[in-house]
Amino acid sequence: MTEVKRPYDASGRQQRARARRRAVVLAARELFERDGFRATTIADVAKAAGVSAESIYKGFGTKAALAKAVFDQVLAGDDEPVPIAQRTESQDVQAEPDVRRKLALYTAGLAQRQARSAKVQILIRDGRHTDDTLEELWQNLLTERLTGMGLCAAHLVDTGQLRQGIDHAEVRDVLWTCISVELYELLVLQREWTLDRYTAWITQAITAAICP
């Protein structure tokens, strides 16, 4: 009897690999937030995720790179391979013709991202003082934020609806400051503002700073 070879299921293998990666990232997030970055070992993450430590090193490289993967996933809210700039909410902001409404849409999405990612951002920011591997990661996050706000500022300036005399650099710096995790930390985590109150305040602060 001739043996019939089954077709190779590449999609199934990719799905399993993605599921394992998701499990590792979720386990790392839980352990980082509970025990801290320095106290959490790759072996701890591997045990919690049900994988080998070797597979984590192979998939992520370093514990700092794993922390970046955690940040990326909580920021986006999922592990879909779609950049935030290409997602529906970002496209809605781009398409909105009125700049004040545009800012309101943007800050609504920002607040949700901060709620998901603030603890991880703070863990990386504060952890760099006791773990040198996080210093480069934190600086990269700051650079990414500044670059993103530069692109956003250019888009807002191009609307022609901002206050007279304001330039791209000032718009970028206002945005970069107002979306910082430090403001979320002060107002929501420390002063216990609701997310709606924080969103309204950020919207008003940015609008007042750059609009007529």
Task: Name which of 1-5, 159-163, 192-196 the model is least confident about.
Answer: 1-5
The stretch 138-164 carries a mean pLDDT of 97
Task: Name which of 7-16, 45-54, 125-134, 175-184 the model is least confident about.
Answer: 7-16
pTM of the predicted model as reported, rounded to 2 decimal places: 0.87
DSSP 3-state of 107: helix
| Chain position carrying tokens 């909105």 | 96
* CATH, range 9-81: 1.10.10.60
Residue burial 70-101, b: 16+ Cβ < 10 Å; e: rest: bbebbebeeeeeeeeeeeeebeebeebeebee
Q: What is the pLDDT of residue 7?
A: 59
Confidence grade of residue 6 (pLDDT, cut at 50, 70, 90): low
Mean pLDDT, the chain, integer: 94
Q: What is the pLDDT of residue 4?
A: 56
Q: What is the pLDDT of residue 176?
A: 97
Count CB neighbours of 22 within 10 A.
14
pLDDT tens, position by position, 82-109: 888 888 999 999 999 999 999 999 999 9
Answer for the pair 122, 172: CB distance below 8 angstroms, yes or no: no
- Say if domain 82-212 classifies as CATH 3.40.190.10: no
The stretch 148-152 carries a mean pLDDT of 97
Give CA–CA dist 130/105, Å, rounded.
38
Confidence grade of residue 5 (pLDDT, cut at 50, 70, 90): low
Domain layout of the chain by residue ranges = 9-81, 82-212
The stretch 181-200 carries a mean pLDDT of 98
pLDDT tens, position by position, 34-92: 999 999 999 999 999 999 999 999 999 999 999 999 999 999 998 888 888 888 999 99
Candidates 69, 93, 65, 94; CA nearest to 81 is 69
Could you tell me which residues come within 8 angstroms of residue 53 by beta carbon, excluding any fewer than 6 positions away? 42, 43, 45, 46
More confident residue, 6 or 157: 157
E-assigned strands of the chain? none
Q: What is the pLDDT of residue 22?
A: 95
Q: What is the pLDDT of residue 76?
A: 92
